[in-house]
Amino acid sequence: MKKLYLLIYLLAAQLVFAQSGPTEGARLDQMLYMRGDTHIQLNLGMFFPLFAGGFNFQNISALTLNPGFNIGANVDVHLDNNLKMGGGIVFLTAQGINAVQANFITLNFRTIYEFHVFGWSFPVGGSAGIQIGSYGESFAINPILRPEAGVFYSFNRQWSIGATAAWGITFEPVFNNMNRSRIGNMFEVMLSGRYYFEQ
């Protein structure tokens, strides 16, 4: 009889453990990242020059650049499970329709809010910074805004892969003749990989 009681006790303990295990696992799945967790993200893809227009949103015309390639890296620090801030660098290169080479380096500060659902993450946010550009013999440093969104699949807390899309809005002011100032627009699509360093 004592052996029967012991067997019933062990079976009950196993049932309690089995029911509590998934609940704890689900909680950990929802809380992927903690304050201070840091990640590095590498991006590789293409960018598509779209159009430019005046600061008054008039005189809109297509950019005289062909689609090009970009490569970049970001480093972000989590403030909590969803909100993170950091910085990034992007290099873009393309040829103009007259075969003149164009190169751009973007340095930016980022703020991203990330949703987590069943192993998938959906970062939405943007960045602001400067874009250093050369086109033939021309050279300029201009401010840029870069809203972005992405989707990632997390293999575990450390590794995830996905895709990112960004819209680069470059302001090109001409202070001695503001009528010549322009706003350039480019669209970027990238494959991305991320690695997290836990605190």
- Residue 30: the pLDDT is 55
- Over residues 161-187, the pLDDT tens digits come to 999 999 999 998 887 776 778 899 999
pLDDT surpasses 80 at 134 = yes
Lowest mean pLDDT among 9-13, 47-51, 58-62, 179-183: 9-13
Q: What is the mean pLDDT of residues 152-162?
A: 89
Name which CATH class applies to 34-197: mainly beta
Rounded to the nearest angstrom, the gap between the alpha carbon of residue 7 and the centroid of all alpha carbons in its chain is 54
Q: Which residue in this structure is represented by tokens 């007259």? A: 98
pTM (2 decimals)?
A: 0.77
Residue 20 tokens, joined: 């509590």
pLDDT surpasses 70 at 199 = no
pLDDT surpasses 80 at 106 = yes
pLDDT surpasses 70 at 147 = yes
**Closest by Cα among 137, 157, 41, 155 to 96:** 137
- Greatest alpha-carbon span in the chain: 98
Element (H, E) at 141: strand 138-154
Whether the CB-CB separation of 153 and 120 falls below 8 Å is answered with: yes
- Residue 45: the pLDDT is 97
- Residue 94: the pLDDT is 93
